[in-house]
Chain A
Amino acid sequence: MNVFIIEMKAHRKSLIIWCIGVIMMVGSSMAKYVGMSLSGGSMNEFMDSLPKSLQAIWGLGSLDLSTVIGYYGVIFFYLLLMATIHAVMLGANIISKEERDKTTEFLLAKPISRNAVITSKLMASIINIVIFNIVTLVSSILFVNQYGNGASVTAEILLLMAGMFILQLIFLFIGTAVAAVSNNVKIVTSLSTGILLITFMFSVIVDLSEKLEILKYFTPFKYYDAKNLLQDGHLDPVFLVLSIGIIVTLSIVTYLFYNKRDLNT
């Protein structure tokens, strides 16, 4: 419990900054929607006229920008990016920082097992990403309803946030697994954010060409794509099972490797 409390305190400041960032992101983007919705369907026409590659990079897909939820779907693409960067860095950092700051010799000389250290840190991380998710959810509901001209889209936002939460978990565990496996503290953060960028690039490439459709299984970003979620109205069971599999595997890797290897002192 003490390690958990210390980790919550240690990450408080950065969590607040991330939350402010996400609120500003949602708020400022939704404010622009007002201007756009006044121009009617012309925005859609303009977007359609853009080359497909540009549309993909901006995360437009086939979202209808003239509806508030379609517009929000585009913002969601960027929110996902923020949430996963936060999660992967949190995961990588929370495990590797004892070795980076050379506090391993303090912590592990105490009567606490390595498993208990990992469990406390994971608990603190999960609480952090839950807070991030709730802040995103609440600010999204508030701003979207504010600018949405009365159309209630709370259910859709809840669905998107559920997807975002699972994605946050996946990237959190990618971070912790990299930190647990790697002996080199210096490369942990860059390696895990590197993995994030590559999977993100994959998700853009999938949109570019239908031939590369198969790649969608290799990038968790595609599991919770705004366009598909809004179309189907529920999470895809295949992707859900796949996500749970990834999370379980990565958490086993985290515990196993952290237990087996020599810690840097």
Chain B
Amino acid sequence: MNVIEINNLTKNYGNARGITDVSFTVEEGEIFGFIGPNGAGKSTTIRTLLSLIYPTSGSATIFGKDCIKYAPEIKKEIGYLPSEVFYYNNMKVIDLLKYSASFYKKDCTKRMIELAEIMNLDLNKKIEDLSLGNKKKVGIVQGLLHQPKLIILDEPTSGLDPLMQQKFFDLLEAENKKGATILFSSHILTEVQRLCDRVAIIKEGKIIKLEKISTLKENNYKKFKIQTTSGIDENFFNLSGVNNLNKKDNIISFLFRGNINTIMKKISDIEIANLWVEEPNLEEIFMHYYVKED
């Protein structure tokens, strides 16, 4: 069963870019990654799903029901963490969480306390005194306390320290094991790679790729930067799997996909002064997708 089904969703905002013809589905029980650079349309898509804004054309269903017509009903089973967390500043954390719980017709107190403990959240502080990371934790707890069937996360890790990120990911994996479907939006490829089963990649308002993470991992790109002691022939690294080759003085850089040993052997043939091997960032991967499409 599809938990989320998005059909040709388009949203225009006057001059500013919205989203164009976005379609994808999220199946029950999967963790679906939604990645793209800032401003690509991730939040726009999510806000449309939550009927905070209305689409120009196209439609979406959640749990098989139209996301606008049945908005209040489907939201009973949705937990949402916005990218930027803003709450009622004069409230204490506990007041906000109780307010949040009061919208669901069940007792969420136990789960609320549990989550706050896991996330190491002080319930008696005022919201306005919290750091960004702690506000994010409040967001996580308020989004999960009613044990939703669908969890929608928009850039959830910004502001969290690595330890908390780890705890948060464990929490998500546990929720997922219990049956929750998760839509995880992010611009950080590695965290999406770690958690998700499938990903949709969005750029400039359009979905440019829909892929299983396992496939993406096979396409495991590395970014090489090599400084040689003497100038070498540009064609030296002209092998299959090498992309975006760039040479500037004694520095050669390229993206490589394939058996890493092949390239290491090749490097050992030349005299090098320095070597960098890095994970390419999302932009570079995107650039690669464009190259492929051309």
Measuring CB to CB, which residues of chain A are less than 8 angstroms from any residue of chain B?
Answer: 2, 6, 10, 101-106, 108-113, 116, 260, 262-263, 265
- Is B247 in contact with chain A by the CB < 8 A criterion? no
Q: Which of A6, A102, A113 contacts B71 (CB 8 A)?
A: A113
Question: What 5 pairs between A and B have smallest CB-CB spacing?
Answer: A102-B86, A262-B53, A110-B103, A109-B80, A2-B102
Closest Cβ neighbor of A105 among chain B residues = B82
Supply 18 A–B pairs (Cβ within 8 Å), ascending by A: A2-B102, A10-B90, A101-B88, A102-B84, A102-B86, A103-B88, A105-B50, A108-B51, A109-B80, A111-B76, A112-B72, A112-B75, A112-B103, A113-B72, A260-B54, A262-B53, A263-B52, A265-B53
Interface residues of B in 98-127 (CB under 8 A from A): 99-100, 102-104
Closest Cβ neighbor of A2 among chain B residues = B102
- Once the chains are docked, how many angstroms separate the CA of A105 from the CA of B50? 9
- From known contacts A6-B99, A111-B73, infer whether A106 and B87 are also in contact, taking CB-CB under 8 Å: yes
Q: Which residues of A contact B86 (CB under 8 A)?
A: 101-103, 105-106
Are A110's CB and B53's CB within 8 A? no
- Is B45 in contact with chain A by the CB < 8 A criterion? no
Are B75's CB and A110's CB within 8 A? yes
Q: Which residues of A contact B54 (CB under 8 A)?
A: 260, 262
Are A265's CB and B52's CB within 8 A? yes
- Is B140 in contact with chain A by the CB < 8 A criterion? no
- Is B207 in contact with chain A by the CB < 8 A criterion? no
Measuring CB to CB, which residues of chain B are less than 8 angstroms from any residue of chain A?
Answer: 43, 47, 50-54, 71-73, 75-76, 78, 80, 82, 84, 86-90, 99-100, 102-104, 142
Closest Cβ neighbor of B104 among chain A residues = A111
Q: Which residues of B contact A10 (CB under 8 A)?
A: 88, 90
Closest Cβ neighbor of A104 among chain B residues = B52
Give the Cβ gap from B153 to chain A, nearest Cβ, in Å.
Answer: 12
- Once the chains are docked, how many angstroms separate the CA of A102 from the CA of B135? 14
A-B contact count (CB 8 A): 62
User: With contacts A6-B99, A111-B72 known, what are 8 further pairs, Cβ within 8 A?
Assistant: A101-B86, A101-B89, A106-B87, A108-B50, A109-B50, A116-B72, A263-B52, A265-B53
Closest Cβ neighbor of B11 among chain A residues = A262
Which of B84, B90, B103 gathers most chain A CB within 10 Å? Answer: B103
Q: Which residues of A contact B84 (CB under 8 A)?
A: 102
Are B103's CB and A111's CB within 8 A? yes
Are B89's CB and A111's CB within 8 A? no
Q: Which residues of B contact A113 (CB under 8 A)?
A: 71-72
Q: Which residues of B contact A260 (CB under 8 A)?
A: 54
Closest Cβ neighbor of A261 among chain B residues = B54
- Once the chains are docked, how many angstroms separate the CA of A108 from the CA of B75? 9
Q: Which residues of B contact A111 (CB under 8 A)?
A: 72-73, 75-76, 103-104
Q: Which residues of A contact B82 (CB under 8 A)?
A: 105-106, 109, 265
Give the Cβ gap from A129 to chain B, nearest Cβ, in Å.
Answer: 22
- Once the chains are docked, how many angstroms separate the CA of A189 from the CA of B102? 30
Are A265's CB and B47's CB within 8 A? yes
- Once the chains are docked, how many angstroms separate the CA of A265 from the CA of B88? 14
- From known contacts A2-B102, A111-B104, infer whether A263 and B87 are also in contact, taking CB-CB under 8 Å: no
Q: Which residues of B contact A102 (CB under 8 A)?
A: 84, 86
Give the Cβ gap from A184 to chain B, nearest Cβ, in Å.
Answer: 13
Closest Cβ neighbor of B71 among chain A residues = A113
Closest Cβ neighbor of A108 among chain B residues = B52
Are A105's CB and B52's CB within 8 A? yes
- Once the chains are docked, how many angstroms separate the CA of A174 from the CA of B47? 29
- Once the chains are docked, how many angstroms separate the CA of A108 from the CA of B103? 11
Give the Cβ gap from B143 to chain A, nearest Cβ, in Å.
Answer: 8
Are B53's CB and A263's CB within 8 A? yes
- Once the chains are docked, how many angstroms separate the CA of A30 from the CA of B50? 55
Are B52's CB and A110's CB within 8 A? no
- Once the chains are docked, how many angstroms separate the CA of A116 from the CA of B86? 22
Q: Which residues of A contact B43 (CB under 8 A)?
A: 265
Give the Cβ gap from B291 to chain A, nearest Cβ, in Å.
Answer: 35
- Once the chains are docked, how many angstroms separate the CA of A104 from the CA of B53? 11
Q: Which residues of B contact A105 (CB under 8 A)?
A: 47, 50, 52, 80, 82, 86
- Once the chains are docked, how many angstroms separate the CA of A39 from the CA of B102? 62
Give the Cβ gap from B259 to chain A, nearest Cβ, in Å.
Answer: 46
Q: Which residues of A contact B71 (CB under 8 A)?
A: 113
- From known contacts A262-B54, A263-B52, infer whether A109 and B89 are also in contact, taking CB-CB under 8 Å: no
Closest Cβ neighbor of B86 among chain A residues = A102
Closest Cβ neighbor of A106 among chain B residues = B87
Q: Which of B72, B75, B78, B87 contacts A103 (CB 8 A)?
A: B87
- Once the chains are docked, how many angstroms separate the CA of A102 from the CA of B87? 8
Give the Cβ gap from B104 to chain A, nearest Cβ, in Å.
Answer: 7
- Once the chains are docked, how many angstroms separate the CA of A110 from the CA of B43? 17
